[in-house]
Structure 1
């Protein structure tokens, strides 16, 4: 069994040997990828640091990969990691972390809502001693009031329920030191909620506030149902308090039902009143049945997570890695049988 070891203080990076790894997970983003690569490359070239850009294709069905191959044809600092199918953003980020070799690793969305121009500030904070530089959204341009309100409420509810607390209003846009990445790669769980894992491992964290921009091109792949599923995943991955809440609700319903039953018996014995019964009985049965079904569903969510973890399937499967000059390399962790990566 591997042991996670953490230190109390980050080692300052060697000024002459700093290397940055930029991880960009994407799904069907052919419209925005040229803009993303151009802006990111201009920022990194001005900084003067060594760097690599890792694009992680999470099973795109459009021409995203072909677009990337064309715009990175002359680059020697770019890799395209293609997953065998769509495994989800959390898995795509995990694949990028497993392939990153930098002293510091930055996760950036391809849609340019998180400006690459903030990377120099993140690197400065890292060099000052922060292991994690989390970017907090101060304003969300292009998002409706309902989405902003639901995001605000989610982080507060999550922090009420989970421990440790996840920094509010922070997404996946962040910088991580090498030792943070190495620690994350030791976590073997299959049901991964990355923002929770960042908080769970600890390490000194600096928060920088910024204004989130509109999408540069294309359409978001996150509808409200997907966001609700991600929120539920985050809560159930880092807290058992929903089960306790279900127990409390069940106890309250039982107490309420028992009290109502005693009240009916009391009225019948001492006042001779007939039980009006049918409407109240139907209402009580409906209420209790709803509570039972919700509780069973919640319990099933936790049991399902245990079932998934017990099967020990990999988080993702790598189809191939395309580097420059253009060539396809099967993931070396899989031998000759494909691209299964157990990191």
Structure 2
């Protein structure tokens, strides 16, 4: 049985050596046929250099070097597309999800006969604000989504080859990967884990908001139905208000007081219209991105043992890379 471990690199220089060492120790308890796929997502530090050092000394290391930073979710999908294992373990390289969890995931897969075992965080880590925003993210996105996500789901998951093959068939250009994990189907079971906290999260408040908007607008039409219902409600209220003022004028001869009521009405309905146009514009923007036949990542170079012979792997890799800019 072949086991693939997939992870991404972004500002990972301080953890990559320990990560790979611990992954190999954990994987060797299950099988001797192992590969670790590291996707360099345009990391600005020396993560790639450190990964190349590991690649040069261990033929089980595979490096997928992206041409720039495309984002965590797209980098993960690219790594999964390069996995060749019968089982694929996806995990972040920051060591907040311990590589030793692999054995627990494998035991749970055998016990439940599931095709996917995904990690669920038992208690959210971080400061009060991070915990509150994390809970709000799942509450809001699940309320507006057609397919609610498991709460507190983490990156770590063990998957069979058939599931991974089905997952990478999705052709979305802009996506929230958690939704793709869910809608791909197969028999999936959760495993509660403890996620450690070694550093401040790289997901800023703006990033969290953008991710929530992306998840809602790329995976659900429910919010569009809410817009329709809001339009019907406001139209009904406006009609009733007009009817009320008309009756009041007929019965009592009382006209509508002027400037203030008009300004309030204009501001109210103007704000509603702007909100609706913003929502519709977000959906149109998603359509624009999806109809462009662009790959969601571009791979500069794949470093794999089978591609090199003769000279040292580092020398051959550097020569091949230099040829790309020749001429």
Normalization by structure 2: what TM-score? Answer: 0.88
Cα RMSD for the two superposed structures? 2.3
Partner deviation per Cα, 1:145-199 (whole Å, 9 max, x = no partner): 2222232233233333333332222122211110001111222121222111111
Contact 1:320 1:329 in 2 (8 A): no
| Structure 1 residue 261 displacement after superposition | 2.2
How many residue pairs get matched? 314
- 2:93 is the counterpart of 1:110: yes
Alignment match of 1:290 (pick from 268, 271, 274): 271
The farther-off stretch of 95-104 and 24-33 is 24-33
CA contact (8 A) 1:155 1:166 kept: yes
1:132 aligns with 2:116: yes
Q: Secondary structure at the match of 2:58?
A: coil
CA distance 1:330–1:284, change in 2 (3 Å): farther
Matched, 1:150 2:133: yes
Aligned to 1:266: 247
- Matches of 2:275 and 2:32, distance apart in 1: 53
CA distance in 1: counterparts of 2:216 and 2:32, whole angstroms: 38
Distance 1:286 1:208, change over 3 A: same
Partner of 2:219: 238
Unaligned runs of 5+ in 1: 1-17, 339-343
State the Cα distance separating 1:260 from its structure 2 match. 2.1
- Cα gap change, 1:295/1:329 in structure 2, threshold over 3 Å: closer, same or farther? farther
1:256-285 Cα shifts (integer Å, max 9, x gaps): 222222222222332233422322222221
Structure 1 position 337, deviation (Å): 8.4
Distance 1:158 1:286 in 2: 29
Q: 1:179 aligns with which of 162, 172, 187?
A: 162
2: CA distance, partners of 1:100 / 1:242: 36
Bigger helix share: 2
Unpaired runs of 5+ residues, structure 2, are 306-312
Cα separation, 1, equivalents of 2:324 and 2:229: 50
Q: Secondary structure in 2 aligned to 1:80?
A: strand
Do the aligned residues in 1 keep the contact of 2:8 with 2:75 (CA within 8 Å)? yes
Partner of residue 317, structure 1: 298
Contact 1:135 1:209 survives alignment (8 Å):
yes
Greater Cα offset, 103-112 or 120-129: 120-129
Instruction: Determine if the alignment matches structure 1 residue 252 to structure 2 residue 233.
Output: yes
1:278 paired with 2:262, answer no
Most deviating of 294-303 and 63-72:
63-72
Distance change (3 Å), C-alpha of 1:315 and 1:280: same
